[in-house]
Each structure stands twice: as structure tokens, then as C-alpha cells.
């Protein structure tokens, strides 16, 4: 039994930043990188299923990204996943979710997992598209924003909750293998232990390029291109200064004015 979890190294922007010269992205000096918050939950869900299943179960982490993305991969491996796959190729530099899904589809064909999990969305761009695009390419059953999952290896169907608008959940049964995008709060993601972090450095990571997957740059063309990127006009609150007592008094005054009391 094998669960493949696709993770993303997200870019966290500093508060002050400058655009790149071509105006199509932020200058890379202004980024910090981190494993996508949603992916912590996707990895945890896979580990819980694998641990309940015993020794036969394997959790494999895949990411599409350059050397920087290795940290995200190792973070997931440190939590207990068995091995990793990192795909990169210079022609992927402008890849969008759709292009990444096309890469992941080849990885799924190669790995033949019993389930594929992704985070429901990434915290940097929030496209919420990679997993479901992957499912479309594979022709696999799929569900987005899964907030509860009951699945045992070998089962032909899994029971899921889809978290809908307004806190309503739909309980569904889905045929397996499936691609599920995992919502925050589905579990309590573990922190990696020091031992886990040490072990993660030794865990095998396959580094693949497009040709290793039988792909060409043309085959993974993005479905959109950034024409320009810019900072939005931002409003700025009127800051209430003074001591804590003065600030609270002004806030109370605002409340009373607006409440007509």
C-alpha cells in the first residue's frame, strides 16, 4: 500500500519588497520559503493511515521545485514519510498549477499509488487547482476540501466529508484510488522529532527532470502566463496612539458612538 502526497514549498513575502526588473514577479531576495501549511495536514493524514496499516504501508512525498524545495520535502520526510521525489527542470520556471499537475500525473503513473493527497490550496497563491487537475489527467475519482477521511488500505471505497461553504459538510463515498485535497483541521499535524529530522537527511530522494518522466517542455505548458505583477493599493487604518488605558478609552468611545449609546 502506498500513499503519494504532493507538497509545495511556498514563498512567504517580506512586508517590504521590490518587483523583479521584468515586472512579472517579486525579486527573489524578498522571499522566505516554507512547507505549505495545508500540506502538513495532507502528510499527517497519509501517515495516520499508513501507521494504522502497519509495516506494509509506504508514504511517498513528491514535490515539483528547484533545490530550494528540498527543505519542504525533508520537512515532510522528517515527520515519518519513507522517501521523496523531487522533479525539476529549468523549463518549469513559469509553471502554473496545470503544468505541475501534468508533471505529477507522470509521477503517479510511475509510482502507482493507492491514494494521492494534496493540500486543499497553497497559502501563497491559493489556486486550489493542482490536485483536481491531476485527477482530471489521470481520470481518477476526486474530491476537494476533504475535512474527514475514513479509509483503510485495500478498501475499494473511502468515506469522506467535503467541507462546503458556511460550515456545511457533505458526507460522500468515493471509489479508490482517488485524489483528495485535504483541508486544514482534518487532524493535528505532528512536529518532526529531532531524531526524525536527522533521519530525514538520510532518506532517499529521487531527483528527476522532465526527460526522466518522458515529458517535454511543450507537454507541460502552463495554462496562463503572468503579464504583470504589482502591489495593490492598500488602505491603512487610522492608528489609535497613547497608553493602553487611552487606547481602550478611545475604542470604547468608538463603540459607543457607533452603537448610539
* CB count in 10 Å sphere of residue 154: 10
Query: Which listed residue (17, 52, 201, 214) binds another protein by CB under 8 A?
Result: 17
Nearer to another protein, 123 or 197 (CB): 123
Please count the residues of this chain forming the interface with another protein, following the rule CB under 8 A.
80
Element of type H or E holding 132: helix 130-138
- Pick from 21, 55, 168, 195 the residue near another protein by CB under 8 A: 168
Give dist(CA 235, CA 113) in Å, integer. Answer: 47
Report in angstroms how near the CB of residue 110 gets to another protein at its nearest: 18
The minimum distance between CB 145 and another protein, in angstroms, equals: 5
| Least distance in angstroms from the C-beta of 201 to another protein | 30
Asked if 149 interacts with another protein (CB under 8 A), we say: no
Distance CA 16, CA 234 (A): 13
Binding mask 216-255 for another protein (x = CB under 8 A): -------xxxxxxxxxx-xxxxxxx---xx-xxx-xx-xx
* Backbone angles phi and psi of 237, in degrees to 5: -65, 150
Residue of 21, 166, 191, 195 interacting with another protein (CB under 8 A): 166
Per CB under 8 A, contacts with another protein among 18-37 are: 26
From the number of C-beta atoms within 10 Å of its C-beta (0-12, 13-18, 19+), residue 197 rates as middle
d(CA 110, CA 172): 29
Nearer to another protein, 42 or 120 (CB): 120
Q: Which grid cell sits at 44?
A: 499527517
Measured from the CB atom, the residue of 112 and 243 that comes closer to another protein is: 243
Quick one: three-class SS letters along 145-169? EEEEEECCCCCCEEEEEEECHHHCE
Instruction: Calculate the dihedral angle through the C-alpha atoms of 102, 126, 144, 83, rounding to the nearest 10 degrees.
Output: 60
For residue 48, state whether it binds another protein (rule: CB under 8 A). no
- What distance in Å separates the CA atoms of residue 85 and residue 64, rounded to the nearest whole number? 8
Binds another protein by CB under 8 A, chosen from 141, 189, 197, 206: 141
According to CB under 8 A, which one of 1, 53, 184, 192 is a site residue for another protein? 184
Per CB under 8 A, the list member of 34, 70, 71, 169 interacting with another protein is: 169
Work out how close the CB of 6 gets to another protein at its nearest, in angstroms, rounded to a whole number.
13
Residues of this chain, 52-91, that bind another protein according to CB under 8 A: none
> Which listed range, 53-61, 73-81, 141-149, 198-206, lies at the site for another protein (CB under 8 A)?
141-149
Distance (Å, rounded) from C-alpha 86 to C-alpha 93?
14
Amino acid at each position: 500500500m502506498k500513499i503519494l502526497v504532493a507538497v509545495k514549498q511556498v514563498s512567504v513575502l517580506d512586508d517590504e519588497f521590490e518587483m523583479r526588473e521584468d515586472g512579472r514577479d517579486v525579486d527573489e531576495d524578498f522571499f522566505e520559503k516554507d512547507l505549505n501549511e495545508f500540506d502538513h495536514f495532507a502528510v499527517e493524514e497519509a501517515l495516520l493511515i499508513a501507521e494504522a496499516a502497519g509495516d506494509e504501508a509506504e508514504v511517498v512525498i513528491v514535490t515539483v521545485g528547484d533545490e530550494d524545495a528540498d527543505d519542504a520535502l525533508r520537512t515532510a520526510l522528517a515527520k515519518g514519510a519513507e522517501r521523496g521525489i523531487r522533479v525539476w527542470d529549468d523549463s518549469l520556471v513559469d509553471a502554473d498549477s496545470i503544468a505541475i499537475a501534468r508533471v505529477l500525473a507522470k509521477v503517479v503513473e510511475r509510482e502507482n499509488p493507492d491514494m494521492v493527497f494534496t493540500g486543499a490550496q497553497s497559502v501563497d497563491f491559493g489556486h486550489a487547482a493542482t490536485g483536481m487537475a491531476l485527477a482530471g489527467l489521470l481520470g481518477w475519482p476526486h474530491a476537494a476540501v476533504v475535512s474527514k477521511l475514513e479509509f483503510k488500505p485495500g478498501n475499494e471505497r473511502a468515506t469522506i466529508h467535503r467541507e462546503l461553504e458556511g460550515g456545511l459538510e457533505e458526507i460522500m463515498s468515493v471509489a479508490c484510488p482517488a485524489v483528495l485535497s485535504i483541508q486544514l483541521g482534518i487532524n493535528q499535524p505532528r512536529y518532526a522529532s529531532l531524531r526524525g529530522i536527522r533521519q530525514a537527511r538520510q532518506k532517499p530522494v529521487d531527483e528527476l527532470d522532465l526527460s526522466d518522466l518522458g515529458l517535454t517542455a511543450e507537454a507541460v505548458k502552463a495554462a496562463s502566463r503572468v503579464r504583470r505583477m504589482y502591489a495593490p493599493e492598500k488602505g491603512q487604518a487610522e492608528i489609535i496612539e497613547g497608553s493602553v488605558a487611552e487606547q481602550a478609552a478611545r475604542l470604547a468611545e468608538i463603540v459607543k458612538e457607533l452603537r448610539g449609546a
